[in-house]
Amino acid sequence: MKSYETVIGLEVHVQLNTQSKAFCNDPVQFGAEPNTLVSPISLAHPGTLPKINKEQVNKAIQLGLALDASISLRTDFDRKNYFYPDLPKGYQITQDHQPICIGGSLMIRMKDQWKRIRIHHIHMEEDAGKSMHDQEDDYSLVDLNRAGTPLLEIVTEPDLRSADEVDAFMSGIRQLVRYLDISDGNMQEGSLRCDCNVSIRPLGSTELNARCEIKNLNSMRFARQAVAYEVQRQTELVENGLEVEQQTLTFDPVSRKTSPIRSKEDAIDYRYFPDPDLPPLKISPVQIEKIQKSQVTLPWEYHQTFQDWGLSFDDATILSEEMEIAAHFSKLAEGYNHPVLMANCYIQKIRPWLAEQNIELKNFPISKPHFWEFLDLIQDNKISNTSGFEKLLPALLNNPNKKPGELAKEMDLFQKGDADFLENLIREILNENPDKVKAYKNGKKGLKGFFMGELMKKSKGKANPQTSANLLEKMLDA
Ligand code: ADP
Ligand code: MG
């Protein structure tokens, strides 16, 4: 059997978290009583006029800038005409030939590497209502609350090569829209969905073969299963000398199979034309610049900063996952000499503690100077890592106003490195274990670990490990 490569391009729909709908002031809200958020404008009743929502435009520009796209200074809206019960207007307002953002790319994270996925364009459009076919036996239900909700559609180049990359792309977009606060990125509630265009080709080929488009995948699990099934189906066709037909497919989560909705021959003619009710939209460079200036630090920018500070790729990933955490950590660590130690402490102790106590980041009790002083005690070997993380830190979280040094003293946590103290303890241990000393002298060098353990026990964890090890060796070899 030949080896094949999977080729995937995505059309990702992002539901925006604007106050109101794309072309009228019906509120945007998930989970409201069905059909309560629907005005005559959402229904395009005669005599009603749509109006462009500035918030949607600004959020589109925000996303475009973050993805390094170029922003169209003049953009317009088209009607995409088709009939469906959840589309009360009989057409969807979208952007067909002059989308708001062109080009750009998203770097996706694959294990410990980045891969660039090029974006073809991003356009603005509106969502349809929701049809429910599974509630009643004899008829379907329609909820029009969602009709007119502002969407951005991100169309990628066919740069993805696996379900893992689809997952990484969707995760990257979800993270980004949350950073930008333009959408909650919630796939379960349908705020983020994608159509997957899938084709295969012999490994090494650069041709683009006939593709199938799997519509409306609203969970990462389904997207993975759909891609896996589709790759297998297409591979079997090709292996049997048959051709893949360009089709639009739907995925059934129960059977985990895709099945055709329509093929290329019966493709719908949407009769696109410019919406006569919406004038072309001009965007000024000043408006773009203003948005650029107020842009937040982006996830990959934090990631790079953290790596520049010496953190591992994975730790940088963990700490840049959510914007609030990234901002909090970077504020604490900025200017500090030992960011790696701080990252360890933050990831292992601070984050779990905050989550457990359900404490908001802005209420983190330890001040920056105290946090630095605490970490310095560990860094300078004045207290051990273990007593720092396990004893001093919890005490400090309860008494954040106390100076860490004083607290450590009160708790008697300072490591003892002075020779007299250690020598006395080691002598005691050697006297208590004559057999083991003999064995050691006869070559069982591994027993050194045993003596160190005893020393730690006797000193209650306060023996400075480095000094102790040296001294112990000296006394054993004497
Ligand atoms: P259309 O105009 O028919 O919608 P596009 O060229 O705009 O088609 O592509 C739609 C999506 O399909 C894009 O995400 C693109 O990357 C993807 N795509 C195009 N050709 C292929 C292919 N051969 N294999 C996989 N995906 C593809
Ligand atoms: Mg398309």
Confidence label for 422 from pLDDT (cuts 50, 70 and 90): confident
Q: Which residue is associated with the tokens 């080691």?
A: 426
Averaged pLDDT score across all residues of the chain: 94
The pLDDT of residue 295 is above 80? yes
Q: Which residues pair with 241 in a beta bridge?
A: none
CA of 209 to the centre of ligand 2 (A): 16
Residues 6+ apart with CB under 8 A from 332: 342, 346, 368, 371
CA of 210, closest atom in ligand 1: 23
pLDDT in tens, 15-30: 999 999 999 999 999 8
**Mutation choice for ligand 1 from 122, 155, 197, CB with most ligand atoms inside 8 A:** 197
- Helix (H) / strand (E) element for 455: namely helix 448-458
What confidence category does residue 178 fall into, taking pLDDT thresholds of 50, 70 and 90?
very high
Q: Is the dihedral of CA 388, 390, 395, 397 positive or negative?
A: positive
| Nearest-CA residue for atom 23 of ligand 1 | 208
What's at 327, amino acid-wise? A
In this structure, of 71-75, 89-93, 364-368, 454-458, the range with the lowest mean pLDDT score is 454-458
Residues 100-144: tens digit of each pLDDT: 999 999 999 999 999 999 999 999 999 999 999 889 999 999 999
Distance 262 CA to ligand 2 centre (A): 15
Give 211's contacts (C-beta < 8 A, 6+ positions apart): 7, 9, 158, 197, 198, 199, 244, 246
pLDDT of residue 1: 65
State how far the Cα of 375 lies from the Cα of 191, in Å rounded to an integer.
42
Give the CA diameter of the chain. Answer: 102
Q: Is 10 in the pocket of ligand 1 (CB under 6 A)?
A: yes
Residue 257 CA, ligand 2 centroid: distance in Å: 22
Q: For residues 445 and 172, what is the distance between their CA atoms, to the nearest angstrom?
A: 52
Residue 195 has pLDDT above 90, yes or no: yes
pLDDT at 99: 98
CA of 254 from ligand 2 middle (Å) equals 27
Q: Say if residue 423's pLDDT is above 90.
A: no
Nearest CA to ligand 1 atom 17: 9
- Residue nearest (by alpha carbon) to ligand 1 atom 14: 9
pTM: predicted TM-score of the whole model, two decimal places: 0.89
**Which tokens belong to 315?**
């730790």
pLDDT, tens digit, 9 for 90 and up, residues 356-375? 999 999 999 999 999 999 99
Rounded to whole angstroms, what are the CA distances from 160 to 196, 209, 214, 225, 226?
Answer: 10, 14, 15, 16, 15
Separation of CA 147 and ligand 1 centre (Å): 26
Using CA positions, which residue lies closest to atom 24 of ligand 1? 199
Ligand found nearest the CA of 200: 1
Q: Is the CB of 156 under 6 A from ligand 1?
A: yes
Q: Which atom of ligand 1 is nearest to the CA of 159?
A: 16
Nearest CA owner, ligand 1 atom 7? 155
Q: What is the pLDDT confidence band of residue 50, given thresholds at 50, 70 and 90?
A: very high
* CA–CA distance, 307 with 219 (Å, rounded to integer): 31
Strand order in the sheet with 78-81: 91-94, 78-81, 273-274
Distance in Å, CA 77 to ligand 2 centroid: 16
Please indicate whether residue 155, judged by its CB atom, sits closer than 6 Å to ligand 1: yes
- Beta carbon of 201 within 6 Å of any ligand 1 atom: no
Q: Which ligand is nearest to the CA of 12?
A: 1
Is residue 181 a contact partner of residue 162, using CB atoms and an 8 Å limit?
no
Report the distance separating Cα 408 and Cα 399, nearest Å. Answer: 12
pLDDT digits (tens, 9 = 90+) for 425-467: 899 999 999 999 999 999 998 999 999 999 988 888 888 888 8
C-beta of 199 in contact with ligand 1 (< 6 A)? yes
Residue 211 CB–ligand 1 contact under 6 Å: yes
117 lines ligand 1 (CB under 6 A): no
Q: Is 264 in the pocket of ligand 1 (CB under 6 A)?
A: no
Q: What's the Cα-to-Cα distance from 320 to each of 166, 298, 299, 362, rounded to whole Å?
A: 20, 9, 6, 17
Predicted confidence band of residue 193 (pLDDT cuts 50, 70, 90):
very high
3-state DSSP helix/strand/coil percent for the chain, to nearest 5? 40, 20, 40
Using a pLDDT cut of 70, give the percent of the chain over it. 100
Residue 418 has pLDDT above 90, yes or no: no
